[in-house]
Amino acid sequence: MELLQYSLRKIATGIPLVIGVTLISFLLMVYFGPDKTYELVGKNPTAEQIAEVRAELGYDQPVAVRYLDYLRELVTLDLGFSDSTGERVSAILARTIPISAAVALPGFILGNLFGVLLGLFAAFYRGVWPDKFIMAAAAIGMSISFLIVIIAFQILLSSSYGLNLFPVRGWDVHSIGDYVLYVTVPTLATVFVALGYNTRFYRSVIVEETTRDYVRTARAFGMPAGPLYYKLILKNCMIPIITRIMFSIPFVVISGSLLIESYFGIPGVGKVTYDAIVTGDQPILKAVVALTAVLLVAVQLLTDIMYRWVDPRVALK
Amino acid sequence: MRFLFLLTAALLIGCGSNGGPDPELAGLRVYHHSADGAPTSLDPAQSATAYANLVVINAYDTLYSYKYLARPYELKPNLAAAMPEISDDGLVYTVQLKPGTRFIDDPAFPDGKGREVVASDVVYSILRHFDPTVRPQGAWLWQGRVAGLEEWKAAGSDYDRPPDGLRAVDRYTLDIRLEAPYPQLLYTLAMGYSAVVPREAVDYYGREFGLRPVGSGPFRVTSYDTARIVLEPNRNWRWRPVDLAEEGYDPDTQAFTGIAAIDGQTPPFVDRLMISFITDSAARWNSFTKGNEIQYAGVPVELVDRVLASKNPVRLAPKYEARYQVVSDIEAGFVYSAFNMADEDFGYHPDPEQQARNRVLRCAMIRGFDWRRRNDSFYFDLGVVFPGVIPPVVPEFDPDLSLDSVTRDVAGAKRMLAEAGWTADNLPTMTYGSVGGVRSRQFYEQFRAWMMEIGYPREKIVLKQFATFGDLNKQWRESRLPLISAGWGLDYPDAENTLQLFYGPNGAPGSNSSNYNNPEYDVLYEQAAVLLPSPERTRIYRRMNQMLIDDCVAVTGLSRTRIAVWHREVLMYPSANIVGGFFLPFVALAGDNGILERAEPARLTLN
Amino acid sequence: MSTVAEELPAAGADDAGSASLWSKGLYKFRRDRTGMWSLAVVLAYVVIAAGVWLGFWATGWADLAGGKWEPVSAQHWFGTNIIGQDIFDRAIYSTKTSFEVGLVVAVLATVIGAVLGAVAGFFSGSWLDEVILWLMGVLDSIPFLLFVAAIAYTLQGNPYSMHIAMIVTFWITAGRLVRGEVIKLKEMEYVEAGHALGLPEFTIIFRHILPNTSHILLVQATITFVAAIKSEVILSFLGLGVKDGMSWGLMISESSQEVLAGFFNNFLAASALLFGLVMAFNLFSDALQDALDPRTVSES
């Protein structure tokens, strides 16, 4: 009961956020946004035909009406049809989100897993050479642009100038084998880029934890370093780790890894969103932005609940 | 910072790959085609792009189609039983349909069985272009030409009361009544825009009709997304044995393809047709050379020197010659940059003296433009540079026209500017509109460098980037940019289609975005518009072309040459141009998987 | 120690702790060899960028200096690109663009973050704080690239749309940090003294509290600088970035079409220069952070 009340309260506080996100993105992306009219008119249009297309797209309505329409669409979950293909937006999302998840998942898991492990390792050897080596490598990793990593990996792994092991781009997945083939290069690039940031972040979290009193006490009581790290310290670091992971989720689920997908031509939600940007397909943009906001609120709620689960001392407040 | 999250994070649930196992292709004859862009909609009323047209004319029937091999291009009856009967005044066209053609089976029909295609379906399909709720794109083809269309639209687009100009006389007879002779009408009946759709399917699928083609064409779509479409032959289509002579077969230039083998045989020669839409040329090439993926591609500009042993005649390097066929195909269209004549800085001006100086400025900029180098940088040096707007692909092209307007002359351009009193200080700023993307930016940078060489200050050639082509197009349509850099794809092989780009009444927002307005030109256009092809019409066309050159209206032009390559076991003569998708029903496969002999490599020697 | 302190710019703070933080920080930074080296590299880039800005070199970046894809030669140190422009000139010229983007974004984002963060922190719990927090939450919730794209459209063709988009997003981190710090600082005695003396709130915030967050702001500004030049690359690749001029991002996006055909010069030139600057700035930022961290300062 307490949990339910808490959740409802939390959802209520999320409403201004959702309204803010939808309003700002509506104004930017829809009202001032790209104009689809001139993609839809024929080669030799008359002024009258242009006006007809604008009316068809609803561009002739006042802002307030269009915004309220947008909110109504969200509440009724009626996301409409793509202006480009006529496909249902909900169908597009249902088709593309799983692909994005399949592309991003391995990189996400490995990037965070290795990040925590390396962070733990570095913190364990704090100040000595393994730490310095890992941190130097992390600094280098953080300094290489994602785009450069993608291009370099593509040359090294997918072109005749390198090993030529994987497809250059695309997503033609019908079996586990295909999946491994297509997902490897994007995953390696993602892990490479994420690892530097993750390792640094997790190391600093863990180092912070090691300075606490209970660690000194445990040490003083002769607790061996290994169990100390993975039983006590790691467990107590779960809150920042969970926060970081949880808050990343909405951006991947909804906006996807836009760069990876547009570079590798993977038909995930990121690419669809990018294409919607460059063709001015507003129904898709509206849906993507709103869902991101809603998911963020949901994630905040879930995160708070997980805190309590990880650390019962955190009251639901 | 947030970008990092975007990169590192992922969903922890709902992982799964896309779709089931690959369909069992073994034993099937599969032709895997590719295109460098994807259609956005397969609704014929929205088939504005070549990509959409490629699919639409295969999934749907058109009254007429182009002969497979005839060059110059020629029409032949398709759904129509014969070429139309045309009244003596050229105003009434009567078309008979072939009886017995059926739409494919689809849940849209009452009992799920496709019904027969009748004349009123053709009427319905064309009328859809005059119904705003369809978001149609082809109205300009018939507007003001076919009688009664505007009135029909003004009266609320009631399909049950078709206009006088477009009538189904009986089940198989169609009457088209024109307001004035319109010799290009037949071409419009071979375009995807006029493809025949059943009203049941449009009503049944509503907005999603563009994703669910229900046609009566040679193929039926079995799956479709933005990456690939899969089609199967429509076994109920009116397949008949191939008569190569009738299709315009020319052994001298086409024998190397091995298509002689299909003569007298009855298609379909494939069990499945796949078309992958791959925008990235390198990826497309990669897929092509893999061997088991796409069997048709273009050669990426960066690779031309490696892939080709010679460009003229086009020949593959030995490494590729054994496996692939190649053909170079000049596009039906051209690229050009027109000045916006409504812009007082570059075009017409209230002060006649200033107007004359503006003309000199335009002429000088045209002379400063280096078509030879543009051709070398981006079109393998294989494009054809020509003066004016009548491209080499149409019969009215004049090979003897002076090349002065497309030959660079920096000294001459500088002299012209100096004589007209143009200096670095008083030259007007040129805002160069462009969409994002590497290639457009390179075009801009090259243009800027050339203008700098004739004395334009760098900061006066300004890039204005638009995120979408639609937004750029909007600026052109609203005459807000001084230069319109575009490509024009011909809708039919008749120079009228390019000359109308400068016809006064077509001014913005119409297709004449240069707002060229020359009464003399307009009169000639109107005279020629009602003429059937004839030496007289060609003379008028050429006079109009010369006017455009003399008035320095546009930096023009270049017709690109596309280098198409395909796997040797595929027997076909592909065309990315006017014929478009009409060649696909004829594609055959040689070797174990095909019914025909493989083309002999020895036959390749081609000149 | 005292000589170091004398060289310091006045921190404008009322308490002695701040001055000693800066003097100790400088002392510490000077002994950090990685930090000093990275600073030297950054300064070298500054010299390159200043030279471009003053027109000393890379003036021919827009000219068609040679043929198509010329290889490396004495005349063209990194060869030429598809339309014959000198890649070396363009890579050098792009240094200036990077500094422009980095500085504009870092300075403005930090200033906005400082002001809004300080106001929110000082009035924490009030409606003003709520509004600013709401704004931060909202801007944080819109996917970055979508947001930049949206701003690019709204300011159709504006050469600074990318800068504006980055500033609007990047001020939030600085804002949050400053807000947290100000909430701590406003409980300090000297602030209460200020209140007692009847100083206007405006003066207290901007003259007395904000200067004491300057070490946070400086470090945050360097981090924002790096984030900005890295984002520029991605945004330019997506066609949302630099409009006029030349940048490493544009060069890398140009190269993405060439590398599979074996032309690596654009890619290598731009990547190497970009990596050098980002790496040096990252290390510089780390060293600065270590030097200015009150905890480590007090330890030493």
Q: C64's torsion region: left (phi>0), alpha (psi -120 to 50) or beta?
A: beta
Interface of C with A in 230-289 (CB under 8 A): 230, 233-234, 237-239, 249, 252-253, 255-256, 259-260, 262, 264, 267, 271, 274-275, 278-279, 282-283, 286
Chain A residues with beta carbon closer than 8 angstroms to that of B49: none
Question: Per-residue pLDDT averaged across A123-135, rounded?
Answer: 90
- Cβ contact C275–A262 (<8 Å): no
CA torsion A24-A28-A32-A33 (nearest 10°) is -140
Tokens of B327: 């053909």
B36: pLDDT strictly greater than 50? yes
**pLDDT at residue C300 in the model:** 36
Tokens of B597: 């002999």
DSSP state of A1: -
Question: Per-residue pLDDT averaged across B96-109, rounded?
Answer: 95
Q: Find the residue in B nearest to A40 (Cα).
A: B137
- The full length of chain C comes to 300
C240: pLDDT strictly greater than 90? no
Chain A residues with beta carbon closer than 8 angstroms to that of C150: 25, 28-29, 32-33
CA pair distance C189, C193, nearest whole angstrom:
6
C215: pLDDT strictly greater than 50? yes
Question: Among B292-296, B475-479, C39-43, which range has the highest average pLDDT?
Answer: C39-43
Range with lowest mean pLDDT among A160-164, B63-67, B535-539, B548-552? A160-164
Residue B283 in any domain: the answer is no
B452: pLDDT strictly greater than 90? yes
How far separated are the first and last CA of chain A, in Å rounded? 14
Q: pLDDT per residue over A272-313, tens digit each?
A: 888 887 777 888 888 888 888 888 888 877 887 777 777 666
**pLDDT at residue B23 in the model:** 46
- Cβ contact C149–A25 (<8 Å): no
Q: pLDDT per residue over A33-50, tens digit each?
A: 777 888 788 788 888 888
- CA distances to A126, B157, B328 from C31, rounded to whole Å, are 20, 82, 68
Q: pLDDT per residue over B571-595, tens digit each?
A: 999 987 888 889 999 999 986 555 4
The alpha-carbon gap from A97 to the nearest alpha carbon of chain B, in Å, equals: 9
Q: How far is CA A83 from the centre of its chain?
A: 25
- Cβ contact B509–A39 (<8 Å): no
- Cβ contact B377–C250 (<8 Å): no
Q: CB contacts < 8 Å between A and B, how many? A: 205
Residue B487 in any domain: the answer is yes
Can you list the domains of chain C with their CATH numbers? 7-37+55-297 (1.10.3720.10)
Chain C residues with beta carbon closer than 8 angstroms to that of B281: 257
Amino acid A136 reads: A
The per-residue pLDDT of chain B, averaged, comes to 89
Chain C residues with beta carbon closer than 8 angstroms to that of B437: 239
Residue B57 in any domain: the answer is no
- CA distances to B105, B269, B571 from B235, rounded to whole Å, are 11, 11, 21
Question: Per-residue pLDDT averaged across B280-288, rounded?
Answer: 81
How far separated are the first and last CA of chain C, in Å rounded? 13
- CA distances to B401, B420, B495, B550, B583 from B388, rounded to whole Å, are 9, 24, 11, 9, 31
- Cβ contact C259–A142 (<8 Å): no
Q: CB contacts < 8 Å between B and C, how many? A: 85
In sequence order, which residues have a C-beta less than 8 Å from that of residue A213 and are 6 or more positions away? Answer: none
Residue B316 in any domain: the answer is no
3-state secondary structure C213-262: HHHHHHHHHHHHHHHHHHHHHHHHHCCCCCCCCCCHHHHHHHHHCCHHHC
Residue B377 in any domain: the answer is yes
CATH code where residue B544 lies: 3.10.105.10
Q: Interior CA angle at B193 toward B188 and B198, to 5°?
A: 120
Give the total number of structural domains in chain B.
1
Its pTM stands at 0.87
**pLDDT at residue B601 in the model:** 38
A88: pLDDT strictly greater than 80? yes
Q: Is B224 helix (H, G, I), strand (E, B) or coil?
A: strand
Q: Is B232 helix (H, G, I), strand (E, B) or coil?
A: strand
Q: Which domain holds residue B416?
A: 333-559
- Cβ contact B17–A168 (<8 Å): no
Q: pLDDT per residue over B237-252, tens digit each?
A: 999 999 999 999 999 9
Domain boundaries, chain A: 91-240+252-267
**pLDDT at residue B5 in the model:** 33
Range with lowest mean pLDDT among B148-152, B410-414, C258-262, C274-278? C258-262
What percent of chain C shows pLDDT beyond 70?
A: 91
The model's confidence at residue C8, banded by pLDDT at 50, 70 and 90, is: very low
ipTM value: 0.85
Residue B75 in any domain: the answer is no
Q: Classify strands B461-466 and B430-435 as parallel, antiparallel or unpaired.
A: parallel
Tokens of A251: 């951006």
- Cβ contact A147–C253 (<8 Å): yes
Q: Is B493 helix (H, G, I), strand (E, B) or coil?
A: coil
**pLDDT at residue B24 in the model:** 52
Q: pLDDT per residue over B68-91, tens digit each?
A: 999 889 999 999 999 999 999 999
Q: pLDDT per residue over C21-58, tens digit each?
A: 888 888 888 888 889 999 999 999 999 999 999 999 99
- Cβ contact C238–B302 (<8 Å): no
**pLDDT at residue B467 in the model:** 72
Q: pLDDT per residue over B252-278, tens digit each?
A: 999 999 999 999 999 999 999 999 988
Q: A58's torsion region: left (phi>0), alpha (psi -120 to 50) or beta?
A: left
The model's confidence at residue B203, banded by pLDDT at 50, 70 and 90, is: very high
Interface of A with C in 242-281 (CB under 8 A): 250-251, 254-255, 258-259, 262-263, 273-274, 277-278
B598: pLDDT strictly greater than 70? no
- Cβ contact B17–A81 (<8 Å): no
Question: Per-residue pLDDT averaged across B98-116, rounded?
Answer: 94
